[in-house]
Amino acid sequence: NAGVTQTPKFQVLKTGQSMTLQCAQDMNHNSMYWYRQDPGMGLRLIYYSASEGTTDKGEVPNGYNVSRLNKREFSLRLESAAPSQTSVYFCASSEAGRTGSNLNIQYFGAGTRLSVL
């Protein structure tokens, strides 16, 4: 069982270039999330998708767009990369949509390390 898979693992971009980070989960989870991790700041939510067909902004959405392609896949796009977007990006998923405490557990991918020069 692969869990949450992110591609690519590493990426270097020049300022102004665009790219899409891919995320797929095989746990049949309803909710998916994109975070960025910066030193001393923990994880900050960029966008989330509570269920297939819906997306909403998180804490730091500026400069990003997302697509919930289907229940399994949730992509993050940088239209015009900036050095401030140099970070480690994590995708996560959670069961949600059902009663019980397990709906709150988020499962994380291994991350994408992005450098914008």
Nearer residue to other proteins within complex by CB, 33 or 64: 33
Interaction of residue 106 with other proteins, rule CB under 8 A? yes
Q: Which of 14, 40, 53, 62 binds other proteins (CB under 8 A)?
A: 40
**In sequence order, what are the residues at sequence separation of 6 or more whose Cβ sits closer than 8 angstroms to the Cβ of residue 54?**
68
Q: Which of 61, 67, 75, 107 binds other proteins (CB under 8 A)?
A: 107
Interaction of residue 7 with other proteins, rule CB under 8 A? no
Residue with tokens 């992005």: 114
Q: Is the dihedral of CA 58, 88, 20, 84 positive or negative?
A: positive
Residue 12: burial class (beta carbons within 10 Å; 0-12, 13-18, 19+): exposed
Site string for other proteins, 17-36 (x = CB under 8 A): -------------xx-x---
Interaction of residue 50 with other proteins, rule CB under 8 A? yes
Nearer residue to other proteins within complex by CB, 3 or 17: 3
Residue with tokens 């991790």: 37
Q: For strands 4-7 and 10-13, give the pairing.
A: unpaired
**In sequence order, what are the residues at sequence separation of 6 or more whose Cβ sits closer than 8 angstroms to the Cβ of residue 40?**
none
By the criterion CB under 8 A, which residues form the site for other proteins? 4, 30-31, 33, 40-45, 48, 50-51, 56, 58, 90, 92, 94, 96-101, 103-111
